[in-house]
Structure 1
Amino acid sequence: MILNDFLPMNQEDLKRLEWEGVDFVLVSGDAYVDHPTFGPTIIGRVLLDAGYKVGIIAQPDWNDPESITKLGTPRLGFLVTSGNMDSMVNHYYVSRKRRQTDSFSPGGEMGLRPDRATIVYTNLIRKKYKKLPIIIGGIEASLRRFAHYDYWDDLVRRSILVDSGADLLVFGMGEHQIVEIAEYLNNGIDVEYITHIPGTCFMTSHLDMLPDYLEIDPFEIVSKDKVAYAKSFKKIYDEQDPIRGKTIVQKHQDRYLVQNPPTRPLERDQLDWTFNLGYQRAIHPTYVQLGGIPAISEVKLSIISERGCFGNCSFCALAFHQGRIVSSRSHESILEEAKQIISDSDFKGYINDVGGPTANFRNPACDKQLKHGACKHKQCLYPEPCEHLNVDHTDYAELMTKLRELEGVKKVFIRSGIRYDYLMYDDSKDFFFDLCEHHVSGQLKVAPEHIDETVLDYMGKPSGKLYSEFVKTFDDINKSIGKEQYIIPYLMSSHPGSTLKSAIRLAEYLRDINYTPEQVQDFYPTPGTLSTCMYHTGIDPRTMKPVYVPKTSQEKAMQRALLQYKNPRNYELVYEALILANRQDLIGTHDKALIRPKLGKQSYSQRTQSKSSSKKTQKRR
């Protein structure tokens, strides 16, 4: 059923809808925003469409078990998620300092959800409802489904399914799984027997029900042995494919965590359906007087056009969550959503974004993926584009043209990220011209991340040479169409493999192009990524060879400061870095210098020579 209203959040809502109760209560760490970019809302709407009544308890008081009873006892069970973000990432900077605001909470207020929200909410529910099924999902559960390194505790934690005590874990995008689970529960099947659904994990004391599986080292070993951790991670990483992936088993004490293979991505008509389920495209009215929900402003006038990413950057968890097979919505579905945006009172003629994980990926990387799955030991774009890669922007260009021609639209921007290497591999530059002519607001944000080839290799990113060619092509096109537009590169410091010399090399590049980034992202080790495995183990799991990892707060501060060497506040850090790297040649007043010498003090070389002369004199005496 399509509900042209908000999902109920309390007894008054139930009365208004004339519902006697609900089949599922969805507990979320986010405030309730009824929009298709918010995962909990999608799951609620999908279940509604399948005939199940769903209520939402958003940001319950985790110190009060009564806070999850306000919709009564659900007929079939509880669904639990931390929200659109991992709660620890939501709460803490990479420095582990507490953030001041939470854009998914009323008025941006911080502190309305607990740390490790999925675990806390599930334990809260268990205190009140001992036997009701609890299914956990969302990004926090998905990326923590195996034993995993946790940056905030600086240790390997058990699967979140163990620590939460939930019955099932849904990983990845959950539309397929949640409806199938609901149907089994509705038919009277006990949750302990729901063990075969792709895209789910469960715990069991025996493996008799599994005809074939791949067992990795148990928690007790990977939590202490970094080599074992890296080997196990690589096995997990290789099997995250819905077509060729194997069932994976990991023992935790006397029980087994079982991950079924990932579910297949939604077909185009299914993805269209997901975005057409009666969303109110607004925050719940209860939040209006509380200052609104800041996160809605980022997405209200934007359109998600696809899911999945075959770019597979080492530091990105998308391959582990959405997968490498791209699926996209039809032009008709996207145009219909654009018309809804145009009718919004906040619309001023500008669609802020049309994209997804990677804006210019609209189709699977190759025809083979849909039949045989993504390659286990080969990437689509790295280190060179695969010979089978389909490089074609025609469909995306046609879509953007249709959107530009809609009545009331002044401009359609692309802000969710262009994969510049894929753009460069397209022999036709028609879309590149379209991009510069129609879809850039003066600045195009792209993500080279670094310029040092060794670091780029660990990141799984294309060469710095290709990025330079992209910049030149961008400049040439803009010159030919008479526009002055600029590239804003996203850069990352302290990624595994990055030494002080790597950071200095990037600083020199920024000097040469006369660019100072306003922001630099320090590498953030989040669960589920290849880079986080490197960070924890000091091993590249692809080769099992050692990799240098900058871990001390001082070195990370120096690497970050080098990328903003012009900032006077960074002078001492940059000076220290250059001395440690023996790059005093970059301290001076010449054109190639990064910083000037210290005024009123001896230079480093003078102090060193003075100390050396003093020692020699003492020896002679």
Structure 2
Amino acid sequence: MIQDFLPISKQDMERRGWEQCDFVYVIGDAYVDHSTFGHAIISRVLEDAGYKVGIISQPNWKNPASIQALGTPRLGFLVMGGNMDSMVNHYSVTKKRRKSDAFTPGGAMGKRPDYATTVYCNLIRQRYPHTPIIIGGIEASLRRLAHYDYWSDSLKRSILLDSQADLALYAMGEKSIVEVADALNSGIDIHDITFVNGTVYRTKSLDNVYDYQLLPSYEALLDDKRKYAESFYVQYCNTDPYIGKRLVEGYERQGFVVQNPAQEPLTQSEMDHIYGLPYQRTYHPSYEALGGVAAIEEVKFSLTSNRGCFGGCSFCALTFHQGRIMQTRSHESIVNEASQMIWDENFKGYIHDVGGPTANFRAPSCEKQLTKGVCPNKQCLFPTPCKNLKVDHKDYLSLLRKLRELPKVKKVFIRSGIRFDYLVADKDETFFRELVEHHVSGQLKVAPEHVADPVLEMMGKPGNHVYKKFLDKYKRLNEKMGKNQFVVPYLMSSHPGSTLQEAITLAEYLRDLGYMPEQVQDFYPTPSTISTAMYYTGLDPRTMKSVYVPTDPHEKAMQRALIQYRNPKNYMLVKEALEKADRQDLIGFEKHCLIRPAGAHKGGGYQGKKPIAGKATGGKGDKTGGKPTGKTGGKSTGKSAGKPTGKTTPEQKPAPKKGWAKAKPSKKVSVGRKPMKKSDTAPKK
């Protein structure tokens, strides 16, 4: 095996002595050969299986010839939109175009199209009408069946139909891609590859499909949002490889889309092998002159230790993509990677992260999951921890200790997030103690998301009393060790279930803490999450009960402004929100008031202390973006390191981004999507 980047040109192929690639991999990101990039993993896995893979990165979609750079592949094209959904990559939650793209050389925008997977596939079809096309990655995975698309505000068909691809791989795909490759290599027609787990295919007839559950047709979903909520929950309950059923979705003219059960989780030895493949651990050298690829900086000195998440947050798509069963690498595999990483000339002594979707999950939540699967209609941590939940940090703690002992390592941080409810459920305080002592430098980022229990219930998050318990313990341990460290909470506005009253409750909580977040995350409805289904239908798919959904941009602006009520730019929005919610008691000169009456002083009418000074410490990006983790999508992460800003509260500045603050108040305010009545389920013609 040649220890080098994979070919990106005919000249590269010639140097390897290749006349033809087995697969040509078309990707929406820059070519970064690192194990946190989905295209790097899949291409290296195929190479390890004996296949020749070439890379076409960010082709010019306006020029069909750009797709011909490596010639006709022997077995087929692979297509992936990028480590993020291309629409999340391009647009903020306010649907404004982002200014830079961390996955493109030099951060340039406009190097990939909207709905990149679909556009690339149609581009290929123009020049290669009969060559197999296989799609994968986060964009294909989360759009594999009919889905609500926030950017067009419509219910879209399966991406298989719009892209004209032959086969879709969902989830991580290492096992399924090799099975598909072997089938093609043995001479099986792409249209006959209907037997591979972790794939989705099209068929005109169900005569040869067995043991399946029929979902409502796409046309039925268009007519009745309630049916979409029901269909979505069936999909949600069938993401498990052990108990998940084969699902079929009908289309009036196109036949059927069939989703096979998920691929089985990787064993530890399989995961070790995949992460031990010869990645170059950086971007292709051709990008150097363009300024490099910024996304590598987030992960270059980080270590992936796990996959999957049994946390089950409603707004997270991990259940649909990586699944709820934890998969982990061995200590030896992780330490070996770290031992190579520390000799990089740019290594400064800091390992930025040891984790995955949730850092402190290192084993399945209970014994039965690896044989019987996860419970389809129960969660491990919500609303309270399951009685069968194993809470144990010993393995993770042991791993961190080994990494701390490596030469040249000054500090090991945890950036991918600590699940605080799992942490406080551990009766053994050893890990919590060492976390505070060794793995925090000023600030620890956690994600309570909100403080109002009605909203937390919709989010699938624990009640606020659990977060308070965590804060108390964190403060006690810091005081005991003589440390002055803070918690940085991720907070989210406008999630389904949040009225202006809940937004005000959050503002009052922040008032009592004595600080204002510099950045706030607004709920972003991305494909295939429970929260997005709520946003579209006004129903909680788990219970089919009506949910209040703030959809009006102006109300969302008010909810966001309430979290940053001390910002003078938000004064009119905050005042309008308080009046709208009949909370004029919070306008005045008393200590508990959020703002002063209009014109009370030159500064805009704000009550209380000044905002905390200092540099913003929150991570940027949406919940579906941020640091690449190999899952081709997932949580935004942000740093756990940083200097305290001199405030003595246990919490400090949170993260995410800009959005609604500039909206102007209007006289007429629509306050969200009302809960549906039975008569409201069908859209008006």
TM range (shorter): over 0.9
The Cα of 1:600 is off from its aligned counterpart by 6.3
The Cα of 1:377 is off from its aligned counterpart by 1.4
| Greater percentage in helix | 1
CA distance in 1, matches of 2:365, 2:572: 47
The Cα of 1:376 is off from its aligned counterpart by 1.0
The Cα of 1:211 is off from its aligned counterpart by 2.0
The Cα of 1:19 is off from its aligned counterpart by 1.8
CA distance in 1, matches of 2:35, 2:92: 27
CA distance in 2, matches of 1:517, 1:462: 22
Query: Is the 1:3–1:48 Cα contact (8 Å) retained in structure 2?
Result: no
Aligned match of 1:226: 225
Query: Is the 1:217–1:228 Cα contact (8 Å) retained in structure 2?
Result: yes
The Cα of 1:228 is off from its aligned counterpart by 0.7
Aligned match of 1:82: 81
Partner SS, residue 367 of structure 1: coil
Partner SS, residue 177 of structure 1: helix
Matches within 5 A, 1:26-37: 26-37=25-36
CA distance in 2, matches of 1:446, 1:125: 43
Partner SS, residue 488 of structure 1: strand
Aligned match of 1:104: 103
- Establish whether residue 335 from structure 1 lines up as the match of residue 335 from structure 2: yes
AA aligned opposite 2:331:
H
Aligned match of 2:643: none
CA distance in 2, matches of 1:517, 1:600: 24
Query: Is the 1:222–1:228 Cα contact (8 Å) retained in structure 2?
Result: yes
Matches within 5 A, 1:425-444: 425-444=425-444
Matches within 5 A, 1:406-555: 406-555=406-555
CA distance in 1, matches of 2:161, 2:98: 28
AA aligned opposite 2:75:
L
Deviations 1:579-610 (A, max 9, x none): 00000010111110111111169xx9xxxxxx
Long gaps (5+) in structure 2? 606-685
The Cα of 1:572 is off from its aligned counterpart by 0.7
Aligned match of 1:613: none
Aligned match of 2:141: 142
Aligned match of 2:8: 9
CA distance in 2, matches of 1:507, 1:146: 39
AA aligned opposite 1:170:
L
AA aligned opposite 2:508:
E
Larger deviation, residues 379-388 vs 514-523: 514-523
Query: Is the 1:283–1:296 Cα contact (8 Å) retained in structure 2?
Result: yes
Query: Is the 1:314–1:529 Cα contact (8 Å) retained in structure 2?
Result: yes
AA aligned opposite 1:122:
C
CA distance in 2, matches of 1:356, 1:211: 36
Aligned match of 2:358: 358
Deviations 1:349-405 (A, max 9, x none): 000000000000000000111111000111000000000000000000000000000
CA distance in 2, matches of 1:75, 1:118: 21
Partner SS, residue 368 of structure 2: helix
What fraction of aligned residue pairs are identical, expressed as a percent?
61
Deviations 1:227-251 (A, max 9, x none): 1111111111111110000000000
Aligned match of 1:159: 158
Matches within 5 A, 1:116-195: 116-195=115-194
Aligned match of 1:203: 202
CA distance in 2, matches of 1:569, 1:4: 55
The Cα of 1:515 is off from its aligned counterpart by 2.6
Matches within 5 A, 1:563-578: 563-578=563-578
Partner SS, residue 223 of structure 1: helix
Aligned match of 1:611: none
CA distance in 2, matches of 1:568, 1:340: 50
CA distance in 1, matches of 2:223, 2:437: 55
Deviations 1:186-231 (A, max 9, x none): 0000000000111000000111122210011011111231111111
Partner SS, residue 134 of structure 2: strand
CA distance in 2, matches of 1:413, 1:126: 46
Query: Is the 1:155–1:223 Cα contact (8 Å) retained in structure 2?
Result: no
Aligned match of 2:670: none
Aligned match of 1:616: none
Aligned match of 1:378: 378
CA distance in 1, matches of 2:291, 2:219: 47
More RCO (CA 8 Å, sep 6+): 2
CA distance in 2, matches of 1:442, 1:449: 21
AA aligned opposite 1:492:
M
CA distance in 2, matches of 1:21, 1:196: 28
CA distance in 1, matches of 2:145, 2:210: 21
CA distance in 1, matches of 2:26, 2:13: 16
Deviations 1:494-542 (A, max 9, x none): 0000000000001101111113112110000000000000000000111
Aligned match of 2:45: 46
Partner SS, residue 223 of structure 2: coil
Query: Is the 1:157–1:223 Cα contact (8 Å) retained in structure 2?
Result: no
Aligned match of 2:638: none
CA distance in 2, matches of 1:204, 1:23: 26
Deviations 1:291-345 (A, max 9, x none): 1001000000101100000001000000010000001000000001101210111
CA distance in 2, matches of 1:182, 1:314: 35
AA aligned opposite 1:477:
L
Aligned match of 2:248: 249
CA distance in 2, matches of 1:404, 1:600: 55
User: Aligned Cα RMSD in Å?
Assistant: 1.1
AA aligned opposite 1:157:
K
Long gaps (5+) in structure 1? 605-621
Matches within 5 A, 1:61-72: 61-72=60-71
Count of residues in Structure 1 that have an aligned counterpart in Structure 2: 602
The Cα of 1:18 is off from its aligned counterpart by 2.1
Deviations 1:166-199 (A, max 9, x none): 0000000010000000000000000000001110
CA distance in 1, matches of 2:595, 2:187: 71
CA distance in 2, matches of 1:528, 1:252: 19
Aligned match of 2:239: 240
Aligned match of 1:614: none
- Establish whether residue 400 from structure 1 lines up as the match of residue 422 from structure 2: no
Partner SS, residue 347 of structure 1: coil
CA distance in 1, matches of 2:11, 2:125: 25
Deviations 1:468-499 (A, max 9, x none): 11011001001111111000000000000000
AA aligned opposite 1:83:
G
AA aligned opposite 1:453:
D
Matches within 5 A, 1:280-319: 280-319=280-319
Aligned match of 1:617: none
Q: TM-score by structure 1 length?
A: 0.96
CA distance in 2, matches of 1:47, 1:115: 28
The Cα of 1:286 is off from its aligned counterpart by 0.6
AA aligned opposite 2:547:
V
Query: Is the 1:497–1:548 Cα contact (8 Å) retained in structure 2?
Result: yes
